[in-house]
Amino acid sequence: MKTTLTGNTPLPRDQQHPVRLELNGQQRQGGCEARKLLSDFLREDLGATGTHVGCEHGVCGACTIQVDGVAARACMMLALQAEGRRIRTVEGLCSHDGELSDLQQAFRRHHALQCGFCTAGILMSCDDYLRRKPDPSEAEVRDMLSGHLCRCTGYTPIVAAVLETAALRRATSNKPNGD
């Protein structure tokens, strides 16, 4: 049986196919069967275990990553579809020296995580969202978070962390040079 990735290119199902991508700023490659999900490829083949797998149906949001800068569900994408793409996982949010991003620091300050299972996916969605919407309202943040399931926090500390991050980023961007 053959599967087709795109166009008219048939791919044998049980054969290893190369996947080359940029993962958190580094060129990486591996091989996988045509039907392997990106979430599994990231975790099992590339060691990006911060990408969690929850529902495997794109509903819970735990597997959210960024593909070419846009939040996406890694469990809804085949690894082969990531060929040549820029993939960013939660491991890529902190600086190269390991310092947490401003968003991660706000999550820590506001206790916006408890068990942590959903946190990586929520962080990736929030990071993408704040780049596109730098001044969100509480209602807008809650609406964005509706694509994620979190059973521990009740979302209130997550919303507070996102709103604080947005406010701090706006205040920093509005400072005149030299201040």
Neighbours of 85 (CB within 10 A): 17
* pLDDT, tens digit (0-9, with 9 covering 90-100), for 47-99: 999 999 988 888 898 999 999 999 999 999 999 999 999 999 999 999 989 99
Span 23-51, pLDDT tens digits: 999 999 999 999 999 999 999 999 999 99
Proportion of the chain above pLDDT 90, given as a percent: 75
In this prediction, residue 74 carries a pLDDT of 97
pLDDT tens digits, 100-152: 999 999 999 999 988 888 999 999 999 999 999 999 999 999 999 999 988 88
Longest dimension (CA), the chain: 64
Task: Let me know if 75 is exposed, middle or buried by CB neighbors in 10 A (0-12, 13-18, 19+).
Answer: buried
What is the average pLDDT score of the chain?
91
Q: Burial of 2 by CB count in 10 Å (0-12 exposed, 13-18 middle, 19+ buried)?
A: exposed
| Category of 165 on φ-ψ map: left (φ > 0), alpha (ψ -120 to 50) or beta | alpha
From the CB of residue 31, how many other CB atoms can be counted at a distance below 10 Å?
A: 13
pLDDT in tens, 93-108: 999 899 999 999 999 9
Question: How many Å apart are CA 129 and CA 139, to the nearest integer?
Answer: 13
Amino acid found at 84: G
Q: How many Cα atoms are found within 13 Å in the side-chain-facing hemisphere of 101?
A: 20
Residue matched to tokens 């521990």: 152
Split at pLDDT 50, 70, 90, the class of 7 is low
* pLDDT band per the 50, 70, 90 thresholds, residue 15: confident
Is residue 166's pLDDT more than 80? yes
Q: Which of 11-20, 47-56, 121-130, 160-169 has the lowest mean pLDDT?
A: 11-20
What count of Cα atoms within 13 Å lies in the side-chain half-sphere of residue 27?
A: 2
